[in-house]
Amino acid sequence: MQKKDLLSTPVVPIDIKAFDAGPILEAMGKTAFQARNLHRAAEIYLEMLQDDCAVILTLAGSLVSAGQGLIVHDLIRKGLVDVVVATGANLVDQDFFEALGHRHYQGDPRADDEALRRLWIDRIYDTYIDEEELRHTDYTIAEIADG
């Protein structure tokens, strides 16, 4: 398989403005396990907004590469979080990477890492990025830091 074939299906960020998640979250409250926990988390979050509490959004893991970055953007833009604490991977290797025009692509978690390495493709679980584009991101950060 060629590099262009593996880097052909971009991860598409979720746009929370495009639908009303309320009904499904309410339905999850009547289920079990993590679905019910998600419903409870949404209830707590709404209570925090009503009580004018400080909302601290903590980010870990590969959120931007998994298509969740637009959600974070919208939460910040709408003033629904007061503070963001994030790993460098989310801010630099993923968000800034995309801000430079690069993309994350759908991949396979069972992919042969050695074959990907030969093609200069990096794998983040089931997403791929072009190593050359990641290096461009790193060089750009270095230029900013040096400035």
8-28: pLDDT as tens digits: 999 999 999 999 999 999 999
Please identify which residue in the block is written with the tokens 């209570």. 47
Q: Is residue 73 part of a domain?
A: no
How many domains are there within the chain?
1
8 Å CB contact between 39 and 29: yes
Query: Can you give the residue range of the structural domain that contains 45?
Result: 12-53
Q: Counting beta carbons within 10 angstroms of the beta carbon of residue 64, is it exposed (0 to 12), middle (13 to 18) or buried (19 or more)?
A: buried
pLDDT tens-digit profile of 90-113?
A: 888 899 999 999 999 999 999 999
Q: Are strands 127-130 and 56-59 parallel, antiparallel or unpaired?
A: unpaired
- Return the amino acid letter for 126: D
Exposure of 35 by Cβ count < 10 A (0-12 exposed, 13-18 middle, 19+ buried)?
middle
- Whether residue 49 is contained in a domain is answered as yes
Does residue 127 belong to any structural domain of this protein?
no
Contact 101, 140 (CB under 8 A): no
Mean pLDDT of 77-102: 91
Question: Could you give the maximum distance between any two Cα atoms of the chain, in Å?
Answer: 55
Asked if residue 77 is part of any domain, the answer here is no
110: in domain: no
What's the predicted TM-score (pTM) here?
0.84
Beta bridge partners of 10: 105
37 belongs to a structural domain = yes
State the CB neighbour count (10 A cutoff) for residue 100: 12
CA nearest 86: which of 77, 78, 76? 76
Tokens 């679980």, residue located: 125
